[in-house]
Structure 1
């Protein structure tokens, strides 16, 4: 066994001549353990929020979305787009068209995003999981076109989930000048009817402005023929998303942009990653402060073991070997604190995940979830473990070398 490690282990677990040293050593371990526990729990909570947000997006956003690099629309009959349609890994292929319009219901007005989709949109996303009402998801029949609105937009218009009177949709006539004498003549107006359902994504971007309707209605309203603003795709169950995405980029070239589900919401996830990183940095500083307790414990141990050091020197030990003994002592305190903190952190995350003991607020149903969501990732646990060891080892290296020279003078 390594001699300095053996002596350090004896010093750590044996009783000291002064009981205060044992107490300070225990406090040092607890300080490192608490900082480690805070790191594990905080990073896991951020992971939980990321997974929760991702679950909301998956009910509305497609698995892969293709848009044009410049401009708003492109010809859906483009030969490159048709190659994408015939790819073996593509399960559902649908054209969509999004444009802004003004909607009005019984005198109440609001700006909305009209999203025209094809009839296979139900197969593309899990739209049924976010629908509320007594009706069903339908875009059109042989007589009229229907609209499925976000719940917040329904509240703005005060139309109710199932309205009887038609929704008026106004869009400026494309490539036409505004007639100042009769401005109403510069707008195209169409009617949409209620199918008896609304969607609730629990994201203001969608719930407050989006209206789903048929693609033919959207093209008629905005004076398009075969144009689309996006191609939305669902892949087969065993398809490799990254591989298929790269193949599509090679086929389409630089004229189109191909994004997976997370890239479509890159801004949201980037903000959450930045918040997670800032929290990690602040908690690492707290860990560094906790490591000062280790330095105090080692300084008192060095003074307490002066006689042992004299004996070791008489046996031929040099200052370098003696310093290594106390370095191992500090590293063992950091290691034990890291292990205890990780174990307790994982236990607390499990309890929170299973029972939700820490709630977000007292009012039931005010938030999307009642308790803090938790998701433990192995990469984060390893990051925390390495961080604690590195910070703990570096924080005791210089102080031990300095103290061993000043306090253990021959």
Structure 2
């Protein structure tokens, strides 16, 4: 293998008497460099955007969420809580209640979901970091609303002159004779406004769980979901099995990815589409490598015959040009990957590109992206080099 490698390096790094071949070789190397550089830049950009997008939902969504398989509520008594605390892998959990309500403020109305949460909620999620104002207290009826709801109703914060009204239909059956008896109504004070993303900002109104139970006529042992924060060493699948054993077949458990299934699918689809597009660009660039090797074969036809006369086998001659192609792809791709790593690192450290004056373009260096570029360059370079080297057989016959 040393003989083909030695000759391949000589052909790659020494100048040809034909100036056109030198130019084609340089263009081919630049093409591989640009392909590897752009592919890693784009993959790192999408990884950064993925982390940036999911960071907002991660503030709101728990690691695991236990919801009823049928109906809207789960029975979870104090006795059950004591046993639930003993399940290994649960760092913390919170009980929540969700139901659709009508918000009314000075003749303006909006639909939303009230989400009653207990005192542990802020230990399971990080939503309080996105709240302007203060999180509600249990001393009086207070709520935290989304930014979109705030824009629709404009209730302000701690506005005691004008209270917001929450209206929800009363549960039950039978004919209603008096329309005013068909709804539960409670006045509340807005203590804060949260801002997470466009999907959530117009969806939820957060309140104390006892207030929500009172509004919805639910007893203290009835909840809509149990939201769980896993401990660092917990195994997700084992924990899910233990929780299902605890509750039986009455519940189902959703992970954070399942709670944001549409978002995850969208991000993965976009990432795959961009990867395929830039791989196509890389394939086109590698055609230059094929052309460059073929031109070298034609230029070195007399040298090939000399090597054959000295005892080189057709396989060894073919390996010379195959090795030259792989060297070109390896060196060009390696330099392109190195430069792109440096550029991404500089963006992470010094915010070279900004989306807004205060928000840098998010990027991320991931081992998976580095391996993707290496494997893509390696596989496509292998195919291109093999295709070009096959032309040496024809040169031996001429």
Report the TM range for the smaller structure's normalisation. over 0.9
User: CA 1:253 to 1:291, structure 2 compared with 1: closer, same or farther past 3 Å?
Assistant: farther
| Corresponding position of 1:28 | 28
Distance 1:273-1:79 versus aligned 2 partners, 3 A rule: farther
Aligned pair partner of 1:269 in 261, 264, 270: 264
Q: Could you say which residue in structure 1 is the equivalent of 2:100?
A: 100
Contact 1:356 1:372 in 2 (8 A): yes
Deviations along 1:88-140, whole A, 9 cap, x unmatched? 4434332101111111011110001100111222333223311212xx32242
How far the C-alpha of 1:187 sits from its partner, in A, is 1.8
For structure 1, the 5+ residue unaligned runs are none
1:225-236 mapped onto 2 (5 Å cutoff): 225=219, 226-236=221-231
2:168 aligns with: 171
Matched, 1:320 2:315: yes
- Distance, in Å, in 1 between the alignment partners of 2:319 and 2:245 is 58
Aligned to 1:75: 75
SS at match of 2:211: helix
Q: 1:36-47 to 2 correspondence within 5 Å? A: 36-47=36-47
Query: For 2:211 and 2:178, how far apart are their aligned partners in 1?
Result: 25
- The CA distance in 2 between the partners of 1:252 and 1:105, in whole Å, is 40
Which of 331, 342, 350 is residue 345 of structure 2 equivalent to? 350
State whether structure 2 residue 384 is matched by structure 1 residue 404. no
Q: Distance in 2 between matches of 1:170 and 1:84?
A: 34
Deviations 1:68-100 (A, max 9, x none): 223322212397765333324434332101111
**CA–CA distance in 2 between the matches of 1:374 and 1:80?**
45
Q: Alignment partner for residue 157 of structure 2, among 156, 161, 170?
A: 161
SS of the residue 2:354 aligns to: coil
Q: 1:149 aligns with which of 145, 151, 156?
A: 145
1:7-406 aligned at under 5 Å gives the runs 7-77=7-77, 83-133=83-133, 136-141=134-139, 144-164=140-160, 165-177=162-174, 179=176, 182-195=178-191, 197-201=192-196, 203-225=197-219, 226-236=221-231, 238-241=233-236, 243-360=238-355, 364=357, 370-401=359-390, 403-406=391-394
Q: Is the 8 A contact 1:176 1:186 kept in 2?
A: no
Contact kept? 2:101, 2:167, Cα under 8 Å: yes
Compared CA separation, residues 352 and 78, structure 1 to 2 (3 A):
same
CA contact (8 A) 2:48 2:364 kept: yes
- Please identify, of 72-81 and 308-317, the stretch whose mean Cα deviation from structure 2 is larger: 72-81
Q: If the length of structure 1 is used for normalisation, what is the TM-score? A: 0.90
* In structure 2, distance between residues paired with 1:254 and 1:308: 77
Q: Deviations over 1:32-57 (max 9, x none)?
A: 11111111111111111121223222
Change (3 A) 1:308 1:178: farther
The verdict on how the C-alpha distance between 1:11 and 1:253 changes in structure 2, with shifts beyond 3 A counting, is farther
Cα distance in 1 for partners of 2:350, 2:322 equals 42
Aligned residues: 396
- Cα distance change of structure 1 residues 177 and 131 upon mapping to structure 2, 3 Å threshold: same
Question: Is 1:80–1:252's contact at 8 Å kept on the other side of the alignment?
Answer: no
Aligned partners of 1:131 and 1:199 also within 8 Å: yes
Change (3 A) 1:68 1:34: same
Q: How far, CA to CA, are the matches of 1:321 and 1:255 in structure 2?
A: 69
1:318 CA drift (Å): 3.0
Shift of 1:158: 1.2
Contact 1:119–1:139 (8 Å) recurs in 2:
no
For 2:334 and 2:152, the matched residues in 1 are separated by 53
1:334 offset after TM fit, Å?
0.9
Distance in 2, Cα, partners of 1:353 & 1:176: 60
| Residues 174-233 of structure 1 deviation map (CA, whole Å, 9 limit, x = unaligned) | 233564x654432221222223x22121x1222112110011222222222232111012
